[in-house]
Amino acid sequence: MTISIETQSNKQSSIIPMAIVAGLFFILGFATWLNGSLMPYLKQILQLSPFQASLILFSFYIAVTFTALPSAWVIRRVGYKTGMALGMGVMMLAGLLFIPAAKSQIFALFLLAQLVMGTGQTLLQTAVNPYVVRIGPEESAAARVSVMGILNKGAGVVAPIVFSALILDSFKDRVGTELSQIQIDEMANGLVLPYLGMAIFIGILAILVKKSPLPELESEGDTSESGKGHLKEALSHPNLALGVAALFFYVAVEVIAGDTIGTFALSLGVESYGVMTSYTMVCMVVGYSIGILTIPRFISQPTALTISAVLGLVLTVLIVTGDNTSYTIANTLLVPFGGTALPDTLLMIALLGLANAIVWPAVWPLALSGMGKLTSVGSALLVMGISGGAFGPLFWGLTSSATDLGQQGGYMVMFPCYLFILFYAVKGHKMRSWS
């Protein structure tokens, strides 16, 4: 009976911290997937080329590359709880930077705001992710990770809808038209109050988190020296090194599917371009749920990864070669139930969310298999794979400008990415030696 009471007490004591952490994961997802609506909106206001528009995502995700290790150092110095508050403080600053950017309509200021937002997110993620694993029993950690993933992607469904309701609804009639300077000013100023509100909201949350009953996790100490010493040894494991590359390519295609779909929709004259990211996120939530129900009960992680890669390859071909005037999928699945009529190519980009959902949770255990004492170094390297989100849209933008198919042709850059993921699923994760 004593054990039962103690177990119940532990569960109750972790409810409030887990609720706070869940809220932070939702905020992370909201701020991340808001880019899918912001990108086409700024493209319209600033009259950007596809390549220039891709820099909006590049400046956000490249922050991970430069600030991941410094963030870990900050957390070791100030602790996890203060680190969360600092991360949100930096995100609040980023929200405020959008105000002078909107007023001046200077593209470089928007990029700076995105870079600062990415920096704040990286610091917050570095602090909040360990809580998911360590705040509760180790045997239920996988379930907590899955719940947080669904919350993150669920925020990706909500964010574009909120952005559209607050900002886009007043400007839908301007899609596909040449804007006057007065109209451009009106659209740019439409960003001021929402981002000011978001900055104030995040700032208040930062204070609440700092004063919250979140327990401080025990520090693992400064492992920078061991990290340097073990880096070469870790990379000598092909399953890890190739896993890092697989995650790099995965995040590249995930961000392309989630954040360029709105820009492509704008080029097709779709008035609801601001909510297109929600379609991709819904598919990711469905994919996440399927993974929770089927892995490893019915299919193994390598098999799930293989299916994801093949589906990604097939959809990529269909997107690049598809007919933008065909509405067969929407007329079959959406319109009869009151949904919007959208081109097949757009909906196939959204379906990439289904192909992408399983990749992240499948690659991590395969890449860290057999790493032993090198697990922490390997985990840090895998996190660096998030930088793929900076380069995927960049190459999509370059390819869009270089091909006769325009933005539709830009999606061909996903093909080699899915090919590498397929290689890792079939062979790469099994390799234990480079010889």
Domain residue limits, the chain: 10-213, 226-429
In this prediction, residue 110 carries a pLDDT of 92
Whether pLDDT at 137 is above 70: no
% of the chain residues with pLDDT over 90: 28
Whether pLDDT at 5 is above 60: no
Secondary structure letter of residue 434 according to DSSP? -
- pLDDT digits over 314-326, tens only? 999 999 999 999 9
Structure tokens of 383? 């996190």
Helix, strand, coil % over all residues of the chain, rounded to 5 = 85, 0, 15
Secondary structure letter of residue 216 according to DSSP? P
d(CA 13, CA 10): 5
Nearest 5°: phi and psi at 278? -60, -35
Q: Mention the CATH class of domain 10-213.
A: mainly alpha
Residue range 226-429 in CATH 2.60.40.1080: no
d(CA 159, CA 33): 7
User: Across the chain, what does the average pLDDT equal?
Assistant: 82
Q: Pick the residue with more confidence: 382 or 91?
A: 91
Angle at 59 between CA 57 and CA 63, to 5 degrees: 115
pTM of the full predicted structure?
0.79
Do domains 10-213 and 226-429 share one topology? The answer is: yes
In this prediction, residue 136 carries a pLDDT of 65
Arithmetic mean of pLDDT, 34-49 = 84
In sign, the C-alpha dihedral spanning 127, 132, 138, 142 is negative
Arithmetic mean of pLDDT, 37-42 = 84
